[in-house]
Amino acid sequence: MWPWEHLVVGYLLYTLYTHARGNGSPTTLAVLVLVLATQMPDLIDKPLAWGLGVLPSGRSFAHSLLFALPAIVAVTVAGVLARVPRIAPAFALGYLSHLAGDVAYPFLVDGDVVLGFLLWPLVPASDSDPPDGLPHLQELVADFLGFLLTPRGTTYLLFEGGLLAFALLVWVWDGMPGVRPVIDAVFPRSRPDGR
């Protein structure tokens, strides 16, 4: 999945969770944690695999449940100790939705079921990722653009556009958490007394 897809899916799951629990809209801190969590597996694995050649794949170490589950426990404990418990579900849903998305995406696009990376290093990772990141990223973008020109790609693009638009509307309805404090700081609301 692409970074924006991980973010959209994670945000929609988290806002559904907060509203279902009766907590209202997501808080700014929780959304910032969610943003980080939805990107974290790629932020760790891609540079270590594609740039440094330390990992065998861009989906190995941080994409493994053997890393993810202890990370979720650590963030949960940190949230409880810091008295900000709402970050725990934001982190967990963001991180786990990333992993689920990386399972779903190849299945939806190519019909491939890829699960091995979830148990790396117990299950060896594919070592097909080249260690040179930029050319590999260019190849991925070119392949994706080629896919978009196919009939399945057109359907995918329409679905993707609808999902992004829906997520944007939900985020605005939620009060734009994560960005609202910046907007309020740059454009302070006038007080009732006119000042």
What is 118-137 written as a DSSP string?
GGTTTSPPP--S-S-HHHHH
- Of residues 22 and 130, more confidence is placed in 22
pLDDT at 194: 53
Q: pLDDT tens-digit profile of 146-187?
A: 888 888 888 888 999 999 999 999 999 999 998 887 788 888
Rounded to the nearest 10 degrees, the angle between the axes of helix 3-20 and helix 87-110 is 130
CB-based contacts of 157-165 (< 8 A; 24+ apart in sequence):
160/5, 163/8, 164/4, 164/8
What is the rounded CA–CA span in Å between residue 41 and residue 96? 10
Q: pTM of the predicted model, to two decimals?
A: 0.86
| Nearest residue to 5 via CA among 92, 104, 71, 113 | 104
pLDDT at 131: 56
Q: What is the largest CA-CA distance in the chain?
A: 66
Return the SS3 of 64: coil
Contacts with 64 (C-beta within 8 Å, 6 or more apart), sequence order: 117, 118, 119, 120, 121
How far is residue 117 from each of residues 70, 76, 103, 120, 130, measured CA to CA in Å? Answer: 16, 24, 9, 5, 17
pLDDT at 190: 61
